[in-house]
């Protein structure tokens, strides 16, 4: 479904296409409209709305119906999230999940209208991976920062970097019809390596977990099991080599085992990165036992410690933490077992709806990996990346089917 390719309309379609494809800017504050979800609210959603109004009347119903089906997997998390906050009388309920879903519905509609294809998305991923690496190198080697962060947050920057780098690999080896030229494949593979370098410069250990998802997809979803196995082995070897050769990342990865061991062996846990995360899981478990249905209405760890003496005396470092540092504990704190079940339902629904789409399967895998050590589903930038990617690749799949 394409807009008529006349002179003015052709330029408008090209402009709209370029804007809709620039979703990776959300983790780079130094770029215009970057550093948050302004891409969705200011750029993608308004353009999607204009394109929706331009759609022929006889196609409008089918377009809205496909947008509705796109949004369904996210509904359990979004609706129960809002219900839990209203139930607990939050002074300022967080409607970000709902607004992001509405914006991404318009993004999906716009992508359908301008004819977004897998080829467009692969080029966007390659350019994004190179951009992330350039930003990371400037920040680390030019500005002297210890970890690249894009002006937002180191771990989130690493997640976005590895996300687009992994997409480059998927487009080359597993993505749909093999109609890319050798030059395009070389460009994407180079961009994938460069994107991994950006992730390493961010120092984000959790982000590297996305490579495990890609390795699993190569091993189990490749049309040629030999090629898939070789690619999986090559990527695992590259991951190990990068971690061993880049000393700052090697030291951070080695700390995982040491900090986890210290948590279980020391009489009082040290507020290390891993120690704090494990302690937050303990607090979430005890919270679920006390508030199994709708949770305590979490506002801060200080509030939880004050109302639950069983948690013990908090360390000063714990009171300064803004959240639970993972989606599953965060869901328990905000909405108890009900929101936890809603998050699980959303993940299962996404998996069922994406069973034939290798890209959406990868997105779900990435989000699940990231959700263990960071808040991703319940974070503005994390959820924005997931929904925007899901919208664009779902639209590309439907556009491809409509041209067959």
Q: In this predicted model, what pLDDT tens digit does every residue of 221-275 receive, in sequence order?
A: 776 666 666 666 766 776 677 667 667 767 777 788 888 888 888 888 888 888 8
pTM of full prediction above 0.75: yes
pLDDT digits (tens, 9 = 90+) for 346-357: 999 999 999 889
Q: Is the pLDDT of residue 76 over 80?
A: yes
Q: Is the pLDDT of residue 180 over 90?
A: no
Distance CA 101, CA 391 (A): 10
Distance CA 381, CA 25 (A): 11
The predicted structure's pLDDT at residue 404: 61
Q: Is the pLDDT of residue 97 over 60?
A: yes
Q: Is the pLDDT of residue 276 over 70?
A: yes
Q: Which of 161, 97, 153 is nearest to 378 (CA)?
A: 97
Q: Is the pLDDT of residue 15 over 80?
A: yes
Phi, psi of 335 (to 5 degrees): -130, 15
CA within 13 Å, CB half, 110: 27
The predicted structure's pLDDT at residue 230: 65
In this predicted structure, which of 178-187, 272-281, 287-296, 325-334 has the lowest mean pLDDT?
178-187
Contact 244, 200 (CB under 8 A): no
Q: Which of 132, 139, 127 is nearest to 156 (CA)?
A: 132
11 token code pair: 């330029």
**Per-residue pLDDT averaged across 320-334, rounded?**
89
The predicted structure's pLDDT at residue 49: 96
Q: What is the mean pLDDT of the chain?
A: 89
The predicted structure's pLDDT at residue 343: 97
What proportions of the chain, in percent to the nearest 5, are helix, strand and coil?
A: 75, 0, 25
Distance CA 301, CA 308 (A): 10
The predicted structure's pLDDT at residue 150: 97
Q: Which of 370, 388, 350, 320 is nearest to 128 (CA)?
A: 388
């Amino acid at each position: 479904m394409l807009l008529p390719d006349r002179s003015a309309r052709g330029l408008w379609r090209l402009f709209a296409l370029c804007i809709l494809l620039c979703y990776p800017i959300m983790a780079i504050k130094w770029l215009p409209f970057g550093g948050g979800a302004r891409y969705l609210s200011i750029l993608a959603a308004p353009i999607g709305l204009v394109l929706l109004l331009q759609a022929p009347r006889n196609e409008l119903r089918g377009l809205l119906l496909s947008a509705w089906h796109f949004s369904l997997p996210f509904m359990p998390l979004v609706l129960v999230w809002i219900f839990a906050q209203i139930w607990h009388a939050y002074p300022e309920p967080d409607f970000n999940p709902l607004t992001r879903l509405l914006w991404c519905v318009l993004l999906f509609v716009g992508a359908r209208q301008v004819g977004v294809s897998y080829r467009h998305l692969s080029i966007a991923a390659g350019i994004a991976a190179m951009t992330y690496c350039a930003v990371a190198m400037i920040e680390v080697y030019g500005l002297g920062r210890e970890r690249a962060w894009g002006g937002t947050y180191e771990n989130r920057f690493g997640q976005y970097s590895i996300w687009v780098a992994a997409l480059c690999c998927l487009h080359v080896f597993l993505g749909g019809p093999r109609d890319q030229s050798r030059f395009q494949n070389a460009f994407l593979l180079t961009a994938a390596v460069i994107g991994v370098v950006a992730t390493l410069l961010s120092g984000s250990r959790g982000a590297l977990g996305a490579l495990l998802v890609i390795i699993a997809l190569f091993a189990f979803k490749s049309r040629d099991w030999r090629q898939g196995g070789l690619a999986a082995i090559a990527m695992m070897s590259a991951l190990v080599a990068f971690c061993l050769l880049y000393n700052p990342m090697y030291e951070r990865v080695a700390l995982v085992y040491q900090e986890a061991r210290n948590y279980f062996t020391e009489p009082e846990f040290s507020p290390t990165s891993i120690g704090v995360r494990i302690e937050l899981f303990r607090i979430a478990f005890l919270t679920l036992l006390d508030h199994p249905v709708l949770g305590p209405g979490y506002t801060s760890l200080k509030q939880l410690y004050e109302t639950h003496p069983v948690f013990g005396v908090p360390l000063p470092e714990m009171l300064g933490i803004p959240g639970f540092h993972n989606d599953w504990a965060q869901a328990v704190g905000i909405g108890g077992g009900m929101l936890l079940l809603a998050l699980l339902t959303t993940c299962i629904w996404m998996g069922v709806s994406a069973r034939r789409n290798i890209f959406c399967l990868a997105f779900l895998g990435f989000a699940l990996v990231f959700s263990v050590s960071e808040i991703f589903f319940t974070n503005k930038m994390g959820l924005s990346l997931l929904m925007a990617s899901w919208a664009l690749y779902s639209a590309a799949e439907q556009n491809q089917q409509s041209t067959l």
